[in-house]
């Protein structure tokens, strides 16, 4: 009589299915999907090898339970479908981001305001703004260069509200800093009890290009990378038809961001 295999084949195959399912849930990036397919194939091949071996060596008087392996085959099928779905979602996200980037090409040459703390020094100026949600007892404003060095420090408005801050590119010694550098604004505010007040900041600059980064259409604002989701407003356009073109461009972007097929934002 042929003896039955004592290796815990069912447990091993279950573990293989579980590993494949974990892989399928690991992410929707291109690399994640590729790795998911490879791991799924390896686990499925291991499962088939174990199943074939046990079927060949089963005890004819005590055959294995086919229902268990049928259920595991169903699980593998579900994992395969999930991996395919992840791959299709990745493709849709990439296509949507590319469509948004094309729509945003009309923004090149226009000045935009965006949430963030960084701006490029162009023509001896870097434009920022900050908003205080409540009155402050003291406000300090500093500017750091790309190496984190403080090149300017001063005081700011203390009443609740939004204030524009245009830095003239000079440090505290009056020396002009070079154009083209990326600078960061830091606003520190405290109330009368010395409790911190969180100020929100925006910056402005001219859009010099549009690309796709991390599946999101991204503005290049003189070297500062600004995801489309950080757009606050269009300040001005370099063309004579600024109001019309700016309104049209903003409407196109808002339509792209709010369309039902949009999945990247």
Mean pLDDT by 10 residues, the chain (265 residues): 42 48 48 59 71 74 71 72 71 61 76 96 95 97 95 96 96 93 97 96 94 82 93 71 47 53 43
63 with 115, same domain?
A: no
With respect to residue 3, please indicate whether it lies within any of the assigned structural domains. Answer: no
**Within a 10 A sphere around the Cβ of 227, how many other Cβ atoms?**
17
Domain that holds residue 136: 108-258
The pLDDT score that the predictor gives to residue 175 is: 94
Q: Distance between CA atoms of 68 and 13, rounded to whole angstroms?
A: 10
93 with 117, same domain?
A: no
The pLDDT score that the predictor gives to residue 36 is: 56
With respect to residue 4, please indicate whether it lies within any of the assigned structural domains. Answer: no
**Within a 10 A sphere around the Cβ of 233, how many other Cβ atoms?**
12
| Angle at the Cα of 22 from the Cα atoms of 64 and 26, rounded to 5 degrees | 160
Q: Distance between CA atoms of 189 and 171, rounded to whole angstroms?
A: 21
What is the distance in angstroms between the CA of the first residue and the CA of the last residue of the chain? 65
Question: Looking at the chain, which runs of residues are DSSP E strands?
Answer: 110-115, 118-120, 126-132, 138-144, 150-155, 161-167, 182-190, 196-197, 200-206, 209-213, 216-221, 224-227, 231-237
The pLDDT score that the predictor gives to residue 57 is: 77
With respect to residue 226, please indicate whether it lies within any of the assigned structural domains. Answer: yes
The pLDDT score that the predictor gives to residue 167 is: 96
185 with 126, same domain?
A: yes
The pLDDT score that the predictor gives to residue 216 is: 80
32 with 147, same domain?
A: no
The sign one gets for the Cα dihedral 27, 33, 36, 40 is positive
With respect to residue 1, please indicate whether it lies within any of the assigned structural domains. Answer: no
């Amino acid at each position: 009589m042929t003896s039955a295999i004592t290796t815990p084949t069912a447990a091993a195959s279950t573990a293989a299915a579980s590993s494949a399912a974990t892989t399928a849930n690991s992410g929707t990036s291109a690399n994640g999907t590729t790795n998911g397919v490879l791991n799924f194939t390896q686990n499925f091949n291991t499962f088939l090898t174990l199943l074939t071996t046990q079927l060949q060596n089963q005890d004819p008087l005590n055959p294995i339970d086919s229902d268990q392996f049928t259920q595991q085959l169903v699980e593998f099928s579900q994992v395969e479908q999930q991996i395919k779905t992840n791959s299709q979602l990745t493709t849709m996200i990439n296509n949507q981001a590319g469509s948004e980037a094309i729509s945003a090409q009309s923004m090149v040459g226009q000045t935009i305001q965006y949430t963030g703390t960084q701006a490029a020094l162009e023509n001896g100026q870097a434009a920022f703004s900050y908003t205080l949600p409540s009155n402050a007892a003291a406000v300090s404003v500093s500017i750091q260069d790309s190496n984190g060095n403080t090149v300017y420090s001063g005081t700011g408005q203390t009443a609740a509200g939004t204030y524009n801050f245009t830095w003239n590119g000079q440090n505290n010694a009056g020396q002009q800093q070079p154009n083209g550098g990326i600078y960061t604004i830091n606003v520190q505010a405290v109330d009368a009890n010395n409790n911190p007040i969180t100020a929100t900041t925006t910056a402005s600059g001219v859009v010099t290009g549009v690309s796709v980064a991390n599946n999101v259409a991204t503005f290049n604002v003189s070297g500062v990378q600004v995801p489309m989701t950080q757009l606050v407003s269009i300040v001005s356009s370099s063309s004579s038809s600024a109001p019309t073109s700016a309104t049209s461009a903003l409407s196109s972007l808002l339509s792209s961001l709010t369309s039902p097929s949009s999945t990247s934002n």
